[in-house]
Amino acid sequence: MDFTVAADEVAGVLPRPWRPMIGAEHLSHLLSTDTTGGRPIGAELASALAAARDQFGVRAVRAHGILCDELGVYREVDGSPVYDFTGVDRVYVRLLALDLRPVVELSFRPRDLASAPDTTVFEYGAIVSPPKDWNRWTDLIRAFVTHLVDHYGAGEVRTWNFEVWNEANLDVFWSGTPVEFWRLYER
């Protein structure tokens, strides 16, 4: 991958998408009916996100794991990829109902697509290895983004920020090489 910098040109103001943003560990927790301290986890998270929106002007939520297995986005049946974005839709519909937008972090790796499925981080086993098949990874991301545009509309999705992976500069979040990480941008 090559970059050219035209230092004699002014490209404009650098967007700062992080300013109206908050981080949350896992947006799938919005769907949880489990309780902690006697309170439903999903309702508690929704309440906290609404408070961040109202009190601090938060407009977007960045969270890990939208491609993790718990939402059932990707699996292989008889060696063929199967996509199912209904879990993601349930999460995003709940977030949008709070008048918040997702920051779509394209992570972590679905087990059936991981080159090293046992290379994980966090209690929930987020897989941090490169894909075992780069073409299938590209196809998944293409299908996912196409689904988002088809389901929510191009105008809506254009208001969302996307992030390729999570903090790959930290070994705990990326077990591959830097060159393998950069491949995520080439496809």
Which of these is catalytic: 25, 70, 163, 167?
167
Closest of 140, 158, 162, 156 to residue 93, by C-alpha:
156
- Residue 5's pLDDT band, with cuts at 50, 70 and 90, is confident
Are 102 and 27 spatial neighbours (Cβ–Cβ below 8 Å)?
yes
Catalytic, 167? Answer: yes
Burial label, 135 (beta-carbon count in 10 A; 0-12, 13-18, 19+):
exposed
* 38: its two tokens: 């006697």
The CATH number of the structural domain formed by 22-186 is 3.20.20.80
| Mean pLDDT, range 13-22, rounded to an integer | 83
| Mean pLDDT, range 97-103, rounded to an integer | 97
Say how many C-beta atoms besides its own lie within 10 A of residue 175's C-beta.
19
Q: Is the pLDDT confidence value at 91 over 80?
A: yes
pLDDT at residue 1 in the model: 67
The amino acid occupying position 46 is A
Tens digit of pLDDT for each residue in 134-178?
A: 999 999 999 999 999 999 999 999 999 999 998 888 888 899 999
- Residue 187's pLDDT band, with cuts at 50, 70 and 90, is low
pLDDT at residue 18 in the model: 73
Tens digit of pLDDT for each residue in 35-74?
A: 988 999 999 999 999 999 999 999 999 999 999 999 999 9
Q: Is the pLDDT confidence value at 31 over 90?
A: yes
Q: What is the pTM of this model?
A: 0.89
Domain range list for the chain: 22-186
pLDDT at residue 46 in the model: 97
Strand 126-127 to 120-121 pairing: antiparallel
Closest of 68, 46, 56 to residue 22, by C-alpha:
56
